[in-house]
Amino acid sequence: QKEVEQNSGPLSVPEGAIASLNCTYSDRVSQSFFWYRQYSGKSPELIMSIYSNGDKEDGRFTAQLNKASQYVSLLIRDSQPSDSATYLCAVRVIWGDLNFGNEKLTFGTGTRLTIIP
């Protein structure tokens, strides 16, 4: 079983609609959760971070976390063509002293999202 699983897509959503991206993770000690957007040939850009159960909203983006179900999601409202990208889910585990880099981000394989004008 992969540590972080995402539907690879592609996911096609009409412009103006809501895009829903999902992610599940296997390590119950995961403590922090992130959504990154990656355009082709570019490095990841942080979109949202979430640390506790529930919803977190930032502009058109809402992240949802359910630790009991080991599930994270990202909703993008009023989808724009510029939102077309691959979205990576990442989970972080921290152990020991952060001063010594005792943390690890594990990424999913990403969901390719296409917004159709």
Partner 1 sequence: GAVVSQHPSWVICKSGTSVKIECRSLDFQATTMFWYRQFPKQSLMLMATSNEGSKATYEQGVEKDKFLINHASLTLSTLTVTSAHPEDSSFYICSAREVRDLLSYEQYFGPGTRLTVT
Q: Which of 14, 16, 18, 46 touches partner 1 by CB under 8 A?
A: 46
| Alpha carbon distance 105, 59 (integer Å) | 25
Q: Which residues ranging from 56 to 85 are in contact with partner 1 (CB under 8 A)?
A: none
> Out of 7, 20, 22, 49, which residue is the one contacting partner 1 (CB under 8 A)?
49
110 binds partner 1 (CB under 8 A): yes
Closer CB to partner 1, 17 or 39, in the complex: 39
Residues of 15-34 as b/e, b for ≥16 C-beta within 10 angstroms?
eeeebebbbbbeeeebebbb
**Residue closer to partner 1 (CB basis): 88 or 113:** 88
Measured distance CA(55)–CA(73) in Å, rounded: 9
Angstrom distance (rounded) from CA 89 to CA 71: 11
Peptide bond before residue 10 is cis, with ω within 30 degrees of 0? yes
Name which position in 10, 15, 51, 80 contacts partner 1 (CB under 8 A).
51
Q: What is the binding site for partner 1 (CB under 8 A)?
A: 32, 34, 41-46, 49, 51, 88, 92, 98-101, 103-110
